Amino acid sequence: MTGHTLPSPRYPDLAGKRAFVTGGAVGIGRAIATLLTLQGVRVAVADLDVGAAERAAAEIGGDAVAVGVDVRDRASVEAGFATALDRLGGCEILIANAGVSTMRPALELTDEDWDFNFSVNSRGIFLTDQIVARHFVATGTGVIVNTASLAAKVGAPLLAHYSASKFAVLGWTQALARELAPKGIRVNAVCPGFVRTSMQSREVEWESRLRGMTPDEVVDDYVRQTPLGRIETPEDVAGVVVFLCSDGARFMTGQGVNVTGGVYMT
């Protein structure tokens, strides 16, 4: 693991379980897959970039496997999850993490901007959750963690379409949690803040041009907004996700857990 790390708590109940992690090749998804593996979970790294998924699985180790998945396409998710089930021998954990962003003032957004963000961030989580949850219902066990965003709690300028797609994730998470709770399946979401990833790097470049700032000034502004005083790392998010997968969170469902360093506190 890279970035700001601390000793990870141990969750013995996770050892031997199997997880399907979308967007698992890089960034937050890769950090989650890595930390789950360290807990003794066998992980399927699912990603649109199959080569990146294969490299990540090889580097993560722990018998991790790579699966190609386009979360926008039902047939692709079904096939990818079936492959993961076959190679892992089962699945008890879903991390629906795949996401994208673009940046533009709200009045300049194109249909393509809107559709692209919703197709991955909202439709992708809907498809992945639905397909995997059907398996969980059939087997009588499972936990789901969706990746939402700080932008799912407060509308973000220049990211109105992204915010809308992530607000949808929280609404879906809450409704699905209520429906699946009687079946013993928990559904939660995490809401990261300003996380140091390749996606953030792209956003910093876009925002610097749109706001007439340097990239360093944009990053300094992110830090200024964060009471804990630094840029978040993928591992900061992964630690909370792994907790949500564990029995330590056994009485939590339907939550959108802020992991923002204090940027948003409600």
Task: Report whether 30 contacts 95 (CB < 8 A).
Answer: no
Catalytic residue among 11, 162, 222, 264: 162
The continuous run of DSSP H or E covering 188 comes out as strand 186-192
What CA–CA distance (Å, rounded) separates 111 from 117? 10
C-alpha 181/C-alpha 154 separation (Å) is: 27
Q: How many CB atoms lie within 10 A of CB 156?
A: 17
Question: Helix, strand, or coil here: 89?
Answer: coil
- Residue 30's closest CA among 196, 235, 194, 240? 235
Residue 162 annotated to the active site: yes
The C-alpha R_g of the chain, in whole angstroms, comes to 17
Active site residues: 162
